[in-house]
Structure 1
Amino acid sequence: MILGQGDWQFEVDENWGQQQISDVKLENAHALVQDKDKILLVTDNPANNIVEYDFSGQITDGWGTQWPGAHGLEIVEEEGETFLFIVDSGWIVNPQWDGVSTEAWDSPYNKMIPQAGSVAKTTRNGRVLFSLGHPQTLGVYTPDMPFNPTDVTVASNGDIYVIDGYGSDFILQYNAQGQFIRAFGKDSDNPEQSIKNGHGITIDRRGEEPLLLASSRADHALIWFTLSGEFVRKLTVPGAYIHAPIFYKNHMLAAVCWTGDKGKPEDNSGVVCIFDESDTLVSVLGGDLPESGTAVTNNKGSFYHCHGLLMADDGNLYLAQWKAGHLHPMKLTPCVGS
């Protein structure tokens, strides 16, 4: 199956790995990072929050049980040592699930129920070094403001940026030691500059100065800020419930969990959007390339709900999907010339 348009076409590798028969199971596949010869996936399966794969697709390890709502993952190198930042969004599998309810969010018997989220810095093998302070304990949030973070990114100076996309939609900045600096991303005077269901955060280093780039998923948008939290610009992608992108060859590749009108996401309608150096949409994996200003759509059958992306050192694109029948990551190989 070949997906995409123009110079950005990919073929799904149907033979990658034997994960479906593995004893290591997933709930939802959320985010991917690479550590040398391994691909790490974060998942909210309570039995193993981190799953490790080699490049043939074989599972080499599964570990971690203390992050039942595991959702975001960042990997950093500090003085030759590797560390992880693991984001728990607070959504957990309900031990009292009635076996039926999956979107009855106010029900005590729904499959997923909320608790406060957390962000931890760990060693490469998952030993916790510190956890970031809950914004309520820092005096930033009031008791009625939920904290359910979705992602984290780290700047070159070590500053840590957390996006509270399932909670109160602020970006929370901490220094390298985990000490709180500021909160931003929600502007009551300029609602169009505010994050709505922030689903991913990263550093855009393509320009002269690095910028913070955040998803505003419910608003079909990406928003850029300075590293000190000042609004820079916004890119609206009609029809796309878009996540923060990864970067490759000065292009942005962004997972889209659903397509559909605002407030009306369509199930099993995920795509991957690819933007050029000018942030112009040039390819849609799993859908047709829309005319300028028209909505991104899914051609049905390619993906479920695209959630996390990794462009690995082997030159291939790896995709993690939410609510995809416990599916392990997919490998997409660039077509010749792409």
Structure 2
Amino acid sequence: MLGQNDWKFEIDPIWGKQLNSEIRPNNAHALMFWQDRLVLATDHPDHNVIEYDYKGNVVDSWGKQWPGLHGLKGLVENNEMSLFLVDSGWVVNRRWDGESVDDWASPFNKMIAQAGSITKTTRSGQVIFSVGHPVTYGAYAAEMSFNPTDVVVLNNGEFYVIDGYGSDYILHFNRHGQFLKKFGQDGVHRINNGHGITMDERGDESLLLVSSRAEHSLMWYTLDGQYVKSLTLPGAFIHAPIFLDDHMLAPVCWTGERNRAEDNSGVICIFDEANTLVSVLGAELPLEGELLSGKGSPFCHCHGLECDDKGNIYLAQWNANGLHPQKLLRL
């Protein structure tokens, strides 16, 4: 059993096992439900998107043009679903020497960075438009990197992108992909390794909610870019949450000190309507002032979440040996 208080779960031992499937993720990054499908964003070079049925069987896979696929959101327009695909630009190096994995400056490292992009597509993956490096529309200087990690889409088609592997700005675009403004790097409240962005609609005013992963924090902004508040959870390299009723469910990719993440760690944190931590799946609830630790967790780098109408959680894990999403049953 995982979790505490009223938020306890157990791992479904069968869902997503896919022992006979030749289709597997590389790093499993983001999840979303659409009708009877669970859709996964991955950076596997042969299939950037994998789709599962309600039993966890692979029923479709597609896409090779987004090799650094990291974020995924949907928008229904005129009864048709559109997808927003975020390619971070981090891709497998075709010149990899077969050994190097940590020297990011090496031309022979396994992963190398190129400029990322955001692409709006039809449900079946046909490109509607793409947005590239902000230097091309005057938002960045030439020396600034652009490696986006996630996107949130408003009902009117406008969208906000978090450049979490690049220059850490939030960039706001209209429904046609035209740049409007950027923010998130002003004053003392600066995003650091923004890893996920969503909308928090629990209050009187809808707010943007973004991860500042390197700071172990979540940060709230108004839609016009004004900083509102932060929530810090020491020890949690936290990603943007999903919402279940009035609670936030946030994946944590690592636990540990800010400059010393614990290897092969990762938990799911659940916060109540007052943003108080009430349950940790994969670890004990930390005492006040205590560092969260997920060492020994059954998870490996929790990266993306989705939930169904019964309150069950679906988990995507980064660097987890090609593991398919796991289903966590609400108890």
TM-score for the superposition, normalised by structure 2: 0.98
> Which sits farther off after the overlay, 149-158 or 326-335?
149-158
SS in 2 for 1:218: helix
Cα 1:223–1:163 change in 2 (3 A) is same
Tell me whether 1:161 sits opposite 2:160 in the alignment.
Answer: yes
List aligned pairs for 1:64-103, cutoff 5 A: 64-103=63-102
Shift of 1:133: 4.2
**Offset from partner CA, 1:159-181 (integer Å, 9 cap, x none):** 10000000000000001111111
CA contact (8 A) 1:73 1:85 kept: yes
**Offset from partner CA, 1:223-263 (integer Å, 9 cap, x none):** 00000100000001100000000000200000000001011
Selected match of 2:239 from 237, 243, 252: 243
Match of 1:37 in 2: 36
CA contact (8 A) 1:84 1:122 kept: yes
After superposing on structure 2, the runs of 4+ consecutive aligned residues of structure 1 that deviate more than 6 Å are none
TM-score for the superposition, normalised by structure 1: 0.96
**Number of residue pairs matched?**
331
Aligned-residue sequence identity (percent) comes to 58
Shift of 1:270: 0.4
SS in 1 for 2:220: strand
SS in 2 for 1:137: helix
Distance 1:177 1:16 in 2: 39
Match of 1:292 in 2: 288
Distance 1:219 1:18 in 2: 34
Selected match of 1:304 from 300, 304, 312: 300
List aligned pairs for 1:182-331, cutoff 5 A: 182-187=181-186, 189-190=187-188, 193-331=189-327
SS in 2 for 1:287: coil
SS in 1 for 2:100: coil
**Offset from partner CA, 1:165-210 (integer Å, 9 cap, x none):** 00000000001111111000011x32xx110000000000100110
> Which sits farther off after the overlay, 307-316 or 73-82?
307-316
Match of 2:50 in 1: 51
> Which sits farther off after the overlay, 14-23 or 272-281?
14-23
Shift of 1:20: 3.4
SS in 2 for 1:119: strand
Shift of 1:158: 2.1
Shift of 1:143: 1.1
Shift of 1:314: 4.6
Distance 1:226 1:325 in 2: 38
Distance 1:169 1:109 in 2: 26
**Offset from partner CA, 1:9-29 (integer Å, 9 cap, x none):** 110001114423211121100
Tell me how large the CA RMSD over aligned residues is.
1.0
Cα 1:314–1:56 change in 2 (3 A) is farther
Match of 2:144 in 1: 145
Tell me whether 1:180 sits opposite 2:176 in the alignment.
Answer: no
Distance 2:79 2:134 in 1: 31
> Which sits farther off after the overlay, 307-316 or 275-284?
307-316
Distance 1:221 1:18 in 2: 33
Amino acid at match of 2:113: P
Amino acid at match of 1:23: E
SS in 2 for 1:203: strand
CA contact (8 A) 2:38 2:53 kept: yes
Match of 1:113 in 2: 112
> Which sits farther off after the overlay, 132-141 or 58-67?
132-141
Shift of 1:313: 3.1
**Offset from partner CA, 1:254-292 (integer Å, 9 cap, x none):** 000000101111111100000000000000000110112
CA contact (8 A) 1:20 1:327 kept: no
Stretches of structure 2 lacking an aligned partner (at least 5 in a row): none
CA contact (8 A) 1:20 1:328 kept: no
Match of 1:170 in 2: 169
